[in-house]
């Protein structure tokens, strides 16, 4: 099994690819990086096209068997942000669907609780948990990749049957 964790963003979308085998008790890092959607000076359709194209290339290159993505969260003070993130998340889910890769969604609380035991864990604690789980010599950077790896690790351990 190859799990592609994705952290959607209009400027930068982080990705992390993990392997899981029947003999594996811990996730194995295969790849991590970012897809750039373009700067904030670019129009939304251009940025969405870039994200879709980049994720489609990653899926084609690595043939994941599952895509894990964070559920959309909407803060009442910033509804526009969640609407824009919904666009990015939508083109990512479309890329996976076109490649016939199942998509699994996890809440931020579930991801944090799975990795640290605390659903409200701060970023530094999450990065340390990722570093420990993947046996990395340094903390994962940038934050977009770290978040994508956290989502993939969550799916590695939870492996829920429900889809997005």
**Residues with active-site annotation:** 7, 70, 144
CA pair distance 18, 135, nearest whole angstrom? 13
Q: Which residues contact 86 (CB under 8 A, 6 or more apart)?
A: 72
Q: What is the DSSP letter of 72?
A: P
> CB burial class (10 A; 0-12, 13-18, 19+) of residue 77?
exposed
For residue 88, the surrounding DSSP H or E stretch is: helix 79-98
Q: Cα angle at 144 between 139 and 147, to 5 degrees?
A: 70
Number of C-beta neighbours around residue 86 at 10 A? 12
């Amino acid at each position: 099994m190859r799990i592609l964790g994705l952290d959607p963003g209009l400027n930068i979308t982080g990705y992390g690819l993990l392997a899981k085998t029947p003999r594996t008790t811990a996730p194995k890092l295969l790849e991590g990086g970012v897809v750039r959607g373009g700067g904030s000076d670019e129009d939304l359709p251009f940025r969405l096209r870039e994200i879709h194209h980049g994720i489609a290339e990653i899926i084609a290159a690595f043939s994941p068997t599952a895509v894990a993505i964070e559920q959309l969260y909407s803060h009442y003070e910033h509804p526009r942000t969640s609407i824009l993130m919904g666009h990015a998340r939508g083109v990512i889910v479309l890329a996976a669907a076109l490649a016939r890769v199942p998509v699994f969604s996890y809440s931020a609380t579930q991801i944090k609780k799975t990795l640290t035991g605390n659903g409200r864990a701060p970023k530094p604690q999450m990065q340390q948990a990722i570093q420990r789980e993947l046996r990395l010599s340094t903390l994962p950077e940038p934050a977009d990749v770290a978040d994508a790896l956290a989502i993939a690790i969550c799916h590695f351990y939870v492996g829920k049957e429900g889809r997005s």
